[in-house]
Amino acid sequence: MRNLLRLIIRYYFFFLFLLLEVVSVTLLVQKNTFHRARFINISRSIEGSFYETFGVIREYLVLKETNQDLHMENTLLRNQLDGLTRKQEQSAELRYDYVPRRQFSYIPALVINASTNKQFNFITLDKGRNHGIEPEMAVISPKGVVGIVYSVSGNYSSVIPLVNRDLRLSAKIRRNGYFGSLSWPGSGYDNAILEEIPFHVDLRHGDTIVTSGYSAIFPEGIIVGTVEEFEAFEGNFYTITVDLAVDYKNLSHINVIRNLMKEEQLELERVR
Amino acid sequence: MIKLLGRNIIRLIVLVMVQILIVNNIQINEYFLPQFYILFILLLPFETPRWLLLVSAFTLGISVDLFTQTPGMHAAASVFMAFLRPWILEMSAPRDGYETGTFPRLYYYGFQWFLRYTVILVLAHHFVLFYIEIFRFTEFFSTLLRVLLSSLFSIILIMLSQYFIFRK
């Protein structure tokens, strides 16, 4: 025992080094332990309040583009509204027993921090649990799909964007409805890879890729990007490079989507 | 002594701030990720006790981790770098050893000495950092390229800082 103590004291530099490395690596590799969760929580609140202060500058710099985007979106919404009111008038006679008014509700939020150059990128929003945001909600910007909420604290939340190797999204080709799985190859924040589209599908450059709506997270038909190029590697499936619609370096006003009928869908699917 | 301690604590805070507010926003592409904050470990006085060296490197790394949501990643790399530092200093010591009252800076020991000292430690740090981030060896060469290009960027920043900020 005494010898051991003497050994440790003699080589304390090495043992202290080992101890600190073990602490760091433990934090790093364990995905769901208490300590890691605590670390992430503390990190989130410090990060949130800090970047909020400095995010003001960023917000100001992208003001012009933000305004343009909002204008575009307004126009789009007006057009849709018109179509919808007409449809409602036409179908006034058709009555179902119970049809819910709406399925999705939109929560506005601001991006206060974003990274695009790491392998596992994250985005931080200025709204959290207190504003009704929960994990696994969809996040969109006026231009298209941004990502999925990963974790929330009281007033902030962090989003896994499409440009994160951990995210897989079910997406389809708008023109013909074939769906596949979208993921990010880890390089270039403006493109992603769509796989599992069978070889016989008629593909063209510039085809629009939209969300499939199969996951109970995203509404159907939100733009993901356009087909940049495609090639058939191994026989039956295409590997499609998708030019992402959202510019991850210039994100500011986004919407978080709550699916009001998610519980219902999941419950039904569980029974099967 | 107290003055030296205070100065180093302030330097730690300032470097972490500079890293997260300015350097992390230089997003060129995924191959250039400069890590400027490690300048703190390079500039610690020669007489720093070894345990304090490790503990302060850990504090430095974990503070950067707090802002980037990467628990332990920067801490592990910084501690590794601090662990190597005494040997690198010993290896590259001038013939009569380091004089008291001097610090490991370009101003005292010249361009060549400081460059060699910086290159070795920055490479060690970036190597650990990027391989821990990816945590697999399948993309060995693309990660190696990230290590080399980012190190180059960091070294340039650190060398420039010696001319513009830490002139004396």
Q: Taking the mean position of all CA atoms in its chain, how far away is CA A228?
A: 21
Q: Do B54 and A13 touch (CB under 8 A)?
A: yes
Query: Which residue is associated with the tokens 């090639």?
Result: A231
Q: Hey, is the C-beta of B22 within 8 angstroms of any chain A C-beta?
A: no
Q: Taking the mean position of all CA atoms in its chain, how far away is CA B118?
A: 8
pLDDT in tens, A207-258: 999 999 888 888 888 899 999 988 877 678 888 999 999 988 888 888 888 8
Domain spans of chain B?
2-164
- Half-sphere exposure (Cβ direction) of B29: Cα atoms closer than 13 Å: 8
Q: Do A42 and B66 touch (CB under 8 A)?
A: yes
Q: Hey, is the C-beta of B138 within 8 angstroms of any chain A C-beta?
A: no
C-alpha to C-alpha distance for A23 and A17, rounded to whole angstroms = 10
Average pLDDT over residues A134-158: 90
Look at residue A147 and tell me if it is in a domain.
no
Q: Do B61 and A24 touch (CB under 8 A)?
A: yes
Q: Do B75 and A54 touch (CB under 8 A)?
A: no
Report chain B residues whose CB lies below 8 A from the CB of A26.
72
The whole model's pTM is what?
A: 0.66
Look at residue A46 and tell me if it is in a domain.
yes
Report the CATH number at residue A226: 2.40.10.350
The hierarchical CATH code for the domain B2-164 is: 1.10.1760.20
Look at residue A98 and tell me if it is in a domain.
no
Q: Specify the 3-state DSSP secondary structure of A87.
A: helix
**Mean pLDDT, rounded, of chain A:** 83
Please determine, for the modelled complex, whether the ipTM score is greater than 0.90.
no
Res A74 pLDDT > 90: no
- Which domain range does residue A234 map to? 169-244
Enumerate the H helices of chain A as residue ranges.
2-10, 12-29, 34-61, 63-90, 262-271
Sign of CA dihedral A227, A232, A236, A239: negative
> For residue A100, what pLDDT is reported?
54
Give residue A34's pLDDT band: very low, low, confident or very high (50, 70, 90).
low
Residue type, B34: P
pLDDT in tens, B110-163: 889 999 999 999 999 999 999 888 877 778 888 899 999 999 999 999 999 988
| CA closest to A114 among chain B residues | B25
Indicate the number of domains in chain A.
2
